[in-house]
Amino acid sequence: MEFRAKRELGEGRWDKILKRKLTELSISDNYNDAKHEWIATGEVWWSGSAEQPDWINHAGSCLCGHKVVYHFQILNTENNVIECVGSDHINTYLIMRAIAEDKNLNIDTITDEQIQEWIDVRTKSMKAEAWWKENGESFELMFDSVKEIDLHFNTRNGEQIYNHKYEWYEPSKPLRKRSENAYGSTYYNMASVVWRWNHEDNPKAQINTTGFPNDNLMKDLALLYIKSAPLIQTLTDMKKRKVDRLEELVTVEERRVQERLERDAQHAARQAERQRIHDLPENVEKRAEEARLHEENRLEQLRLNQVARDKRDERARITEAETARVSVVTLAETNDKFINLCGYYGIPVFDESFASNNWERNFLASIKEQLLKDKPMSSAQLSSLKPIFTSAPATEKQLNYLRSLGVGDFTGTKKEASRKIAKLKEELE
């Protein structure tokens, strides 16, 4: 039920009577002035309510005498007379004045939407109460009868999901939130009744917004109720199928358990038989001999592994010694070409004395061979040479050589030691 306030009272019978009575109850002696004395207070009473308020002087009728269900209180602000009118005669001006004074607005700026909102706010609970009194019993009967059907059939087929309980795939069934195709047609797909009425996930569920179902919901509910018989049978068949499936799975599981028990029993019997044979007196000596042979084979294999490791170590030692010998020979020899190349790269003329370990000695020898073969050095090679020539302290060989040349304690770097040795050798020559 929608209420729409009249813009102005007309010249009909009831409108004329209301104009006359409002004027009689006003200070002004004509309606055009008298109407401005009245304001809607916001108090509304439905005649179906249990308790009648004190301001109702003529329950069931408007001030004009016309029968009404909803009573809107109006107040003459000049003489404090209180009266009530019905929904047909709650004049728009009365509401506009109430809104303007309540919200401190210019009355000319008030819209139809604000007027309708004023009416809706004050009649919402009563409209819901009236609707439930008139239709509630039949609605609940139909809704309770079809809600399970609705949740199952007024849906869309979603993706296939594996159901572990029934051990099968079945489509997810999200509720259809909008109807599709023409109402009542063969191809009509109804929006879920439950979703629209009271589904907990729907923020706009009608039970929370209007408090009673709208006309579209009632039409769909009635249609679903009429067509429910075959759907109930289909749903019953589907439930039976699920029950049968669970019974089937129980039977299958029982068979699996029985088969597992039988396998376990057979395995235990085989184990017991093997243990019995193992424990026979004639097998004791056999097992002892097998253990002795196994231990001999294990020890022999350990010996052979050690021999192989010794051979590998010896080959590595010989290879390392040969590499060291070649490196020493390479680093001991020098010539003008090598000297010039060292000057080109800005590195000292190095020899074995620059090496503090085998790796450095072999590395220096490989660099020298590379230079003498006219192969340029990379930036990475130069970076590796830098700590050998600069920051590293003089090697033990350099220190011993310096001592043999009469130099006592020396604390310089490899590079400094090399220069010192070269200078002393020139002086001796």
pLDDT digits (tens, 9 = 90+) for 289-347: 888 889 889 998 999 999 999 899 888 888 888 887 888 888 888 888 888 988 888 88
Domain ranges of the chain: 13-110, 141-226, 322-428
Say if residue 394's pLDDT is above 80: no
Measured CA to CA, the distance from residue 425 to residue 428 in angstroms comes to 5
pLDDT digits (tens, 9 = 90+) for 129-181: 778 888 889 999 999 999 999 999 999 988 899 999 988 999 899 999 999 99
Please state, in angstroms and rounded to a whole number, the distance separating the CA atoms of residues 417 and 23. 127
Q: Which residues contact 122 (CB under 8 A, 6 or more apart)?
A: 42, 43, 44
Give the confidence band of 1 by pLDDT, cuts at 50, 70, 90.
very low
Would the pTM of this model clear 0.75, i.e. be above it?
no
Close Cβ partners of 351 (under 8 Å, ≥ 6 residues apart): 331, 332, 334, 418
Mean predicted lDDT score pLDDT of the chain: 86
Q: Strand, coil or helix: what is 164?
A: coil
| Region 202-211 average pLDDT | 90
The answer, yes or no, to whether residue 125 has pLDDT greater than 80, is no
d(CA 14, CA 89): 9
Confidence of residue 50 (pLDDT cuts 50, 70, 90): low
Q: Are strands 160-163 and 168-171 parallel, antiparallel or unpaired?
A: antiparallel
Which residue type occupies 179? S
Tokens for 151, please give them: 């949740």
**Alpha-carbon span 51 to 56, nearest angstrom:** 11
Q: How many CB atoms lie within 10 A of CB 337?
A: 11
Confidence band, pLDDT 50/70/90 cuts, at residue 94: confident
In the numeric block, which tokens belong to residue 252?
A: 């299958």
C-alpha 216/C-alpha 223 separation (Å) is 11
Give pLDDT tens digits for 61-75: 999 999 988 888 899
Q: Under a CB-based contact definition with an 8 Å cutoff, are residues 352 and 332 in contact?
A: yes
**pLDDT tens digits for range 249-264:** 999 888 888 889 989 9
- The mean pLDDT value for 18-38 works out to 92
Query: DSSP strand E in 305-409: where?
Result: none
Mean pLDDT, residues 386-396? 75
* DSSP string for residues in 8-47: S--SSHHHHHHHHHHHHTSSSSSHHHHGGGEEEEEEEEET
> For the residues 90-96, what does the mean pLDDT come to?
77
Residues of the chain with pLDDT > 90: what percent? 35
Q: What share of the chain is helix, strand, coil (3-state, %, to 5)?
A: 60, 10, 30
Q: Which amino acid appears at position 15 of this protein?
A: D
Using pLDDT thresholds of 50, 70 and 90, give the confidence band for residue 6.
Answer: low
Count of CA atoms in the C-beta half-sphere (13 A) of 253: 9
Residue 219 burial by Cβ neighbours in a 10 Å radius (0-12, 13-18, 19+): middle
CA dihedral over 319, 322, 323, 324, signed as positive or negative? positive
